[in-house]
Structure 1
Amino acid sequence: MMVNNINCSTFTLFLEIFILILLAFHGTCSLNSSSRRVLSLPGFHGSLPFKLHTGYIGVGKGEEVQLFYYFIESEQHPETDPLMLWLTGGPGCTSLSAIFFEHIGPLSFNYTGISFNRTTATWETDLPALQLNPNAWTKFASILFLESPVGTGFSYATSAEFYSTTDIIASKQIYKFLQKWFTEHPHFAKNPLYVGGSSACGLIVPFITQEIVNGNDDGTGLQLNIKGYVLGSPLTELNGSATTARIDFAHRVSLISDDFYEATKSSCGGPHWNVSNADCTKNLNEGSKVFDLLFPEHILEPKCNVSSPIIWCRKNYNLIIDNWANNIQVREALHVRKGTVGHWTRCNATLKARSYNMTLTSSISYHQNLTNKSIRALIYDGDQDLQITYVGTLTWIDKLNLQISDYWRPWFVNGKVVGYVTKFSNSHYDLTYTTVKGAGHCASEFYPHESSTMLRRWFACKPL
């Protein structure tokens, strides 16, 4: 009996300790319940040599919108390095585009194995191999890749009605997401914070940055250590100025002749450009015949023809990423919730066409508001991009009425000219604008090393 009593007492004590451990473990997990570490990925040999976490954070009154994210810690000094929220354009294009194709993340696809099936007229590929990217921005910064707006990538809503949204609503949800993410990850709260994005995100990144600044100033939100914002090939205005900028750009890069340019400028009332009259429209249509032969995101390439077995097409990459992200093992490795997203596509065309309402027609006023704050901005364009031209970007930057502190000059990597840079500033605000020579839309896709060097220098407040 004595032995039995001792055994029962020992067992009871062990059980109580075990329950306490479980409760403590549960409490620890609940503080960071949205984030799960990804140790390996299909297509990559061995364990990932960097820290990748994925997760969901619910926003909205009842957390009806579940935003999916990838968080990759800096491989250098994650405790002090900059932390950047990165958004992909579209709207509705996945963050995996930035990670894999824009070479911002630590992995890229190995493109061997892709072939054209002449019978079905489709491109075929097995699950591609993954390889390390030596030019990853995560070498020197932690990056939080967010799938927004809802319906993008693996983000989803709990019912159909919540897929209908606007850019203002989605931007406020992103701000709420940041508040909750930093609450769950307080050890990153002191890191310098930047908001970045490409293409269509040019309309919302300044708005989100202003939301953060306002929240800090009025004390309505968690204090975030916001230092600036980064924009690549930014869409800034939804009006005719982009068309006129394309004509000026096309002339500068010799896509159209001097005679045609002067005739078009005359018929369209240049230099202020009135594109509403018939002669102007006729000339613009003639010019578009030249443009139609070229890939608008990179005019040094022919227009994409995805069914051609001969002409290489950059959009063939979509097939590779679609195969990868729709693979069951990949979704399990990324901790994607089962049953939340059906067939995955790189860019959600339905969202862009039907459920996402673009009400921000210009972000210039938000840039102007931020010029009154102690904020830094980096704006960059590929100089072979017809979609968002560097001519158009310089035109709207001029509207900010900033002083030039460093005049237009070349910048170099390994002794070669890789672009041209100029700096604008006032007593509070600092804007660095640069081109990346030979690059197209989203410059890091075309020149990853030069783009990575650009950002590394800018983060360190060094001249490009």
Structure 2
Amino acid sequence: MVESRSGATAVVRVLVTMTVVVIMMMILMSSTKAAPAESLVSYLPGFNGSFPSKHYAGYVSLEEEKHLFYYFISSERNPAEDPVVLWLNGGPGCSSFDGFVYEHGPFNFEQGPKGSLPKMHLNPYSWSKVSNIIYLDSPCGVGLSYSPNTSNYLTNDHKTALDTHNFLLKWFELYPEFQHNPFFISGESYAGVYVPTLAAEVVKGIKSGDKPVINFKGYLVGNGVVNDGNGLGAAVNFVHGMALISNHMFEEAASACNPDFSSNSSKCYHAIDKIGTALDGLNVYDVLEPCYHDPEGQQQRQTQLPPSFQKLGRTEKALPVRKRMFGRAWPHWAQHFDNFRPNKSDNKMLLWPQLGRLSGGVECINDEVATAWLNDESVRKALHAAPKSTAGEWELCSDRIDYEGDAGSMIPIHRNLTSQGYRALIYSGDHDMCVPYTGTEAWTSSMGYNITDEWRPWISGDDHQVAGYLQGYEHNLTFLTIKGAGHTVPEYKPQESLGFYTRFLDGKRI
């Protein structure tokens, strides 16, 4: 009887042990489930060497045949623990390969002989040094993202936020090993709208129990629009402070246009037109940099402009550009002072994005490197991207989408997000005339939060040099400038950008 009981006990112990082993194996398998092998990028034309971390690329397909393209780089530091960061370029209509190629991607691109692919070298200041990062072409119709149903190219702020949130839910299902990592949203220019509207959608999904749960912690916006109606006033104050217009011109405009620049009087129009003439020929994205003039593209754009704008032709001369070629997004509401005109229908004066929006071109910008690389079929094959016959030509900024900015001011959304404890870094290159720091400083101050870190310089790197200035507010809101940077901050100041990016993600004092 005793032997029978002991035998039964032994059997139970064996069964329990086997059950525990099976459960542990299941947990281990689920926790180590890898990213989709078919999305692994094993080589890239133009680069000879080993990737410092794993790269993945491909499409996430949404309902209604929307195919959104992403490029994902696992962190070079600690991919299992480091944050996952989504990067979005602006426009609306600009590809996030702008950020990949020209700003903080894993490679620096060197232009080769005409007809050849650019050469690629590892970027020592890539944001993948300290984070897992997703570059997403959004909305559908931008960059390598496409749909066979072109009606999907008709979109707006709300649809874009919904689609990108659905993309994230599906992406984290594909990459479950990253579901518990801290998650941040980042972007620049018109991503000043993309980022907060998406963040609000993510928070809404968390509260409603969407699965998988996104471990959202905060967001970063660089030189971002907020649609607060202060664009013209901020721009006039900026160009005056930069000594680009005389004090007399500034006072004339301030007197004619009201303190908030809301007037649509003829005096105001002429005062602003005079300022536009003075600024003609400047690089709107960085007033210190030359303006690249593409003779063929410029001529094509000029013939498409309304007659009232064709008089604004530029000198057809290619000025020298930086070794790391330019690429830009432009904001929805501002391009050049040349485009200023009264809008009789709503009694406001606006800046209109006419120049540079035609034929995928961007005023003053040379995007030859990215265009040549991303339209090469061998590159597309390596990226797991659809060929040109399916997804169309890659353009830095596409004009095939029909976009409506319908979300209004971003300030209430920022206030709602930060008041819930989500961290926000609002940074600004201080030589950008497109979305000048003056407007960004004004709206962050207008949030009404108490100052917790008084205006001060911040230091970058081991050389202990002043890299810019910042002001910290309660609710984890920080406004930061980068000294000498233009619209796309990491392009101009890569080392300093990696510095503030790392400290923000790590929760350390900048």
Q: Same fold (TM over 0.5)?
A: yes
The match for 1:412 is 459
The match for 1:120 is none
**Alignment-mate amino acid for residue 71 of structure 1:** F
The Cα offsets for residues 323-373 of structure 1, whole Å up to 9 and x where unpaired, read as: 11111110111111344212221211232xxx2222123211211211321
Aligned residues of 1:153 and 1:346 also touching (Cα < 8 A): yes
- Answer yes or no: is 1:285 the counterpart of 2:273: yes
- Answer yes or no: is 1:436 the counterpart of 2:424: no
TM-score (structure 2 length as normaliser): 0.78
SS of the residue aligned with 1:349?
Answer: coil
SS of the residue aligned with 1:356?
Answer: strand
1:373 to 408, 420, 440: 420
The Cα offsets for residues 112-144 of structure 1, whole Å up to 9 and x where unpaired, read as: 54xxxxxxxxxx452110111000010000001
1:236 to 226, 236, 253: 226
Provide closer, same or farther for how the CA distance between residues 69 and 391 of structure 1 changes in structure 2, counting only shifts above 3 A: same
**Alignment-mate amino acid for residue 258 of structure 1:** N
- Answer yes or no: is 1:257 the counterpart of 2:242: no
Task: Give the drift of 1:398.
Answer: 2.1
Alignment of 1:216-235 (within 5 A): 216-235=206-225
Alignment of 1:248-327 (within 5 A): 248-270=237-259, 272-307=260-295, 308=316, 310-313=318-321, 314=326, 317-327=366-376
SS of the residue aligned with 1:371?
Answer: helix
Which ranges of structure 1 fall in alignment gaps of 5 or more residues? 1-29, 114-123
The match for 1:456 is 502
The Cα offsets for residues 84-135 of structure 1, whole Å up to 9 and x where unpaired, read as: 0111111221121101111x1111201354xxxxxxxxxx452110111000
SS of the residue aligned with 1:204?
Answer: helix
- Answer yes or no: is 1:129 the counterpart of 2:119: yes
Task: Give the drift of 1:35.
Answer: 5.5
Aligned residues of 1:83 and 1:142 also touching (Cα < 8 A): yes
The Cα offsets for residues 274-294 of structure 1, whole Å up to 9 and x where unpaired, read as: 331111111111011122121
Residues 338-347 or 188-197, more deviating: 338-347
Alignment of 1:103-182 (within 5 A): 104-113=104-113, 124-182=114-172
Task: Give the drift of 1:301.
Answer: 2.3
TM-score (structure 1 length as normaliser): 0.85
- For these two proteins, the number of residue pairs brought into alignment is 415
Residues 389-398 or 72-81, more deviating: 389-398
- Answer yes or no: is 1:70 the counterpart of 2:58: no
Aligned residues of 1:35 and 1:56 also touching (Cα < 8 A): no
SS of the residue aligned with 2:71?
Answer: strand
Aligned residues of 1:267 and 1:280 also touching (Cα < 8 A): yes
SS of the residue aligned with 1:396?
Answer: helix
Aligned residues of 2:186 and 2:219 also touching (Cα < 8 A): yes
Alignment of 1:20-59 (within 5 A): 36-59=39-62
- Answer yes or no: is 1:198 the counterpart of 2:244: no
Provide closer, same or farther for how the CA distance between residues 34 and 65 of structure 1 changes in structure 2, counting only shifts above 3 A: farther
The Cα offsets for residues 261-313 of structure 1, whole Å up to 9 and x where unpaired, read as: 1222112222x333311111111110111221210000112433123555124
Looking at structure 2, the residues matched to 359 and 320 of structure 1 have their Cα atoms a distance apart, in angstroms, of 34
Q: Alignment identity in percent?
A: 35
After superposition, the CA RMSD in angstroms is 1.9
The match for 1:356 is 403
Looking at structure 2, the residues matched to 219 and 398 of structure 1 have their Cα atoms a distance apart, in angstroms, of 34
